[in-house]
Amino acid sequence: MNVLERFAESRFMKYLESISMKLSGSPAFSAISNGMGGTMGLVMIGAIVQIICVFGTTFLGLDATGKLYQTLYRPYQWTMGAMALYMAFNMAYTYAKNLKLNGVQSGFTSLICYFLVSCPLMSVQVGETAMTVVNFDNFGATGLFTAIIIAMTTVRVTKFVTDHHWIIRMPDVVPEGILNSFNSIIPTAVNVIIWYGLAVILDTVTQGALTLSGAITYALSIPVSFMISTPGMFVILALMQFFWFFGIHGTSVIFTALMVPMMTAYMSNADLMAAGQPLVFHPVFLFGAVSIMGGTGNTLPLCLLGLKSKSEQIRAISKASFIPGCFNINEPVIFGFPIMYNPILFIPFLLNPLIIAGLNLILWNLEIVALPSVLIMTTLTVLMSNFMGTLDWKNVVFAILCFPLLTIIWYPFFKIYEKQCIEKEQAEALEAQEV
């Protein structure tokens, strides 16, 4: 038994495994996990479309504002770009089924509440025609945390109302479909009153400047803007990974706060490079450590480990996630394994960026690797993104050398999670045989 296998069998990892088993048995955690897993097909379609669009703009000179690009990009907008909508429905549906409630009605209740608080209607003038449109911004990853909150709370409210028999009673002869519709009226109304009331209060206080999703994102980004220092950046990287664990799009939240200082730092180094002057280190450059190899959390090594897994679930997810991971697109991994609300996989997900950031800092100080001067605002393959940000081959070598280290960090936690998945699959197969 090698060192990694002994660590995987250690008392600490056994304790972590027991916590994970307890959480996986919780109806709420199970609903979040299965709700995310149920959108895997949509995530994969969006990832494939994103790769096609990036390839078109990077190598074929496709104009991102042109009609052809917009036509190609549309499936992405209605898959990953609208993920919060599907999560709001699917998590509520799954949670309601876990609590022996009507899943479809609960899903629709969650969805309508999400629309009311996150997607205000706006009137715009197009030529001589007045049109009513919906702001699409909160449909995607920025609205995920709000979707989770609404899905969980609307089901709990429905459970409370149902348990207290606050329903419209109908004669027993009424068909089940009609009976279910009437039974859902009061729970739906209570949920709508609660959530729309919050939306109206927020709209009144901010004079229409913020939606609930926007308010949550803004509130989370405030403390980040005060932490732009070298020690602070390590805290920010850890905070970003914690956001992801709880269903918040951590990259989006953190990047919102860091965008201005990051652009300033990159532009400053670009000017120095043009003038032939030495580049200067800025703490915000450490942000790049979070996705040096396969997207946020450096998950490409996890995909490679999963390709040879004995678990059918892990192997299937890894096969589907590997190509997107090569383009630093790792939503399939985060939603598919999943890493969100998974305490076992969260530990290496947290450690990887911090370790890579520390190595980057040391090598920058020793002038072994180059400081960045090109802000990459699009998705590139793992090694190309390492090169394009610095235009230095040594940074590509650094990324390659990081790969085995990242694999070692993932390995013991991967083996524990794999063991759980195998046991679950064997139990399900045994139940199927008995039936």
Q: Which of 11-25, 26-40, 304-318 has the lowest mean pLDDT?
A: 11-25
Is 341 part of any domain? yes
Question: How many Å is the Cα radius of gyration of the chain?
Answer: 24
pLDDT tens for 203-231 read 888 887 777 777 776 776 666 556 678 88
Does 249 lie in the same domain as 214? no
Buried/exposed 276-311: b ≥16 CB within 10 Å, e otherwise = eeebeebbbbbbbbbbbbbbbbbbbbbbbbbeebeb
Q: What pLDDT, on a 0 to 100 scale, did the predictor assign at position 306? A: 93
Angle in degrees, CA 291, 257, 357, rounded to 5: 35
**Strand 121-126, strand 129-134: pairing:** antiparallel
108 pLDDT tier (thresholds 50, 70, 90) = very high
Q: State yes or no: pLDDT of 257 exceeds 60.
A: yes
Picking from 285, 293, 295, 270, the residue whose alpha carbon sits closest to that of residue 373 is 270
More confident residue, 89 or 120: 89
Cα–Cα distance, 70 to 66 (Å, whole number): 6
More confident residue, 245 or 378: 245
Q: What pLDDT, on a 0 to 100 scale, did the predictor assign at position 389? A: 78
Q: State yes or no: pLDDT of 2 exceeds 60.
A: no
Does 203 lie in the same domain as 347? no
**Plot region of 61 (φ>0 → left; ψ -120 to 50 → alpha; else → beta):** left
79 pLDDT tier (thresholds 50, 70, 90) = confident
Cα–Cα distance, 61 to 322 (Å, whole number): 26
Largest CA distance in the chain: 85
Picking from 390, 383, 395, the residue whose alpha carbon sits closest to that of residue 270 is 390
Is 192 part of any domain? yes
Q: What pLDDT, on a 0 to 100 scale, did the predictor assign at position 109? A: 95
The pTM of the full predicted model, rounded to 2 decimals, is 0.64
Residue that terminates a domain, selected from 195, 221, 247: 221
Does 151 lie in the same domain as 241? no
Is 73 part of any domain? no
Residue that terminates a domain, selected from 221, 245, 276: 221
Does 361 lie in the same domain as 233? yes
Does 189 lie in the same domain as 241? no
pLDDT tens for 275-333 read 668 888 988 888 887 888 888 889 999 999 999 999 998 999 999 888 888 888 888 88
Is 63 part of any domain? no
Residue that terminates a domain, selected from 204, 221, 238: 221
Is 132 part of any domain? yes
135 pLDDT tier (thresholds 50, 70, 90) = confident
What single letter denotes the amino acid at residue 137?
D
Q: What pLDDT, on a 0 to 100 scale, did the predictor assign at position 153? A: 94
Is 251 part of any domain? yes
% pLDDT > 70, the chain: 84
Does 317 lie in the same domain as 210? no
Task: Compute the mean pLDDT over every residue in the chain, rounded to the nearest whole number.
Answer: 82
Does 215 lie in the same domain as 121? yes
More confident residue, 165 or 270: 165
Strand, helix or coil at 329?
coil
Q: What pLDDT, on a 0 to 100 scale, did the predictor assign at position 184? A: 82
More confident residue, 85 or 28: 85
Residue 181's domain comprises 79-221
Does 257 lie in the same domain as 392? yes
DSSP-derived secondary structure letter, 277? P
Does 304 lie in the same domain as 318? yes
Is 49 part of any domain? no
Q: What pLDDT, on a 0 to 100 scale, did the predictor assign at position 377? A: 58
- Overall domain count for the chain: 2
More confident residue, 62 or 314: 314
Q: Which of 59-63, 69-73, 294-298, 320-324 has the lowest mean pLDDT?
A: 59-63
Does 278 lie in the same domain as 203? no
Question: Cα torsion at 207, 209, 211, 212 (round to 10°)?
Answer: -80
Q: What pLDDT, on a 0 to 100 scale, did the predictor assign at position 414? A: 93
Does 207 lie in the same domain as 239? no
Is 402:355 a contact under the CB 8 Å cutoff?
A: no
Judged on CB neighbours under 10 Å (0-12, 13-18, 19+), 274 is exposed
Does 341 lie in the same domain as 261? yes
More confident residue, 350 or 29: 350
Is 41 part of any domain? no
